[in-house]
Amino acid sequence: MVFKKLRQAVGIGGPSIETILHDPNTTPGGVVTGEVTIIGGQYNSDIKAVNLALRTRVEVESGDNEYTSNLEYAKLPVAGGFSLQEGARHSVPFQMPIPWEAPLTHMYGQPLRGTTVGVATELEVAGAIDPGDLDPIAVHPLPAQERLLTAFSNLGFRFHNADCEKGRIWGVHQELPFYQEIEFYPPSQYARGIKQLEVTFVAYPQSMEVVLELDKRGGVFTEGHDAFSRFTVDYATINNTNWEQQLDGFLQDAGRRRGFF
C-alpha cells in the first residue's frame, strides 16, 4: 500500500493517509463507498478534519482569455477533530454521493477523452491542510443517457471530444456551476450544414434535460453560427420512443430554423 505523505503540510514524520475505493465505477446519482485510514507519524497529531471532495477539470472563460481549472463541486466531511497518537491507525468508512449532474467519464464502455473526475482526500492537521491527490472514479451513463448516446451512434455521429465548461445554460436548472459538452462529428446526411454537434445532459432524479448545440459549417462568404435544441427525457418512458427518429427530427427542425439545411 502506498500512503500519501503530508510532508509539506505538517512536516517530515507527520501522519499519512490512505483512501481505498471499494469500486470506482458509478453513475450520476450513485454512491461511491470506501474507507479512509489515517496513520500516526513520529509524534502525536491533532487532526482537525478529514474531508472528501469531488473535483473535475473545467474550462473557464474570462474576457478574451480561456484557461482550465480543477473545480471542487461536492464535499463530504468524513471525520471531525480527534487526537491521533504516534503510529496509531484510525479508519473511517464513507459513502460519497455522486451528484446527478456529475460529468460522464465513460461512453460506449470506453473512457471519454477530455473528462476526468476524481475524489480528493483532504486532511487538516493543526491548521495545515493537505489537499490530497486525486483518486479517479469512472462515471458511466445512466440508462437514459446510454440510450440517447446509442441513438446518436446509430445515426452515424462519431465521438470527437468532451469537456466541462464553467457556467450555466440559459433556461435550464443546474445545481452545479458547470456543464459537460460531448462533441460529435456529423455523418454525411448532416455534414453539409453542420460542422459539429455538442450534447449536454443535465440529469435529475426522475428525468433529464438534453441540450443540443449545432455548430454550422461556414461558407466562403459566410460565418458559421450555432443553433440550439432542448428537450426533456423521462426515465420511466425512455424505451417508449424511437430515439433515432426523434433525434433526427430535433436536428432537422433546429437546422431548418436557422437555415443550416
pLDDT per residue over 106-163, tens digit each? 998 889 988 989 999 888 887 667 766 788 999 999 999 999 999 999 999 999 999 9
- What is the dihedral sign for C-alpha 136, 60, 176, 160? negative
List of E strands, 80-116: 82-84, 89-97, 106-107, 110-111
Listed as ranges, residues in the chain with pLDDT below 50 are: 1-3, 5-9, 217-225
Cβ neighbours around 146 below 10 Å, total: 17
Q: Give this prediction's pTM.
A: 0.88
Going by C-alpha positions, the residue among 108, 107, 145 that lies closest to residue 238 is 145
pLDDT of amino acid 193: 73
Query: What's at 114, amino acid-wise?
Result: G
The confidence score (pLDDT) of residue 127 equals 64
Residues of the chain with CATH 2.60.40.640: 4-139
> Pick from 68, 96, 85, 78: which is nearest to 36 by CA?
78
CATH of span 4-139: 2.60.40.640
The identity of residue 174, as a single letter, is: Q
Query: Taking the CA of residue 130 as centre, how many other CA atoms within 13 Å lie in the half-sphere pointing to its CB?
Result: 23
3-state class (DSSP) for residue 101 = coil
Calpha distance 213→183 (Å, rounded): 9
Q: Would you state the pLDDT for residue 222?
A: 36
Phi and psi at 217, nearest 5°, equal -80, 125
- pLDDT for the residue numbered 13: 74
- 3-state SS, residue 192: coil
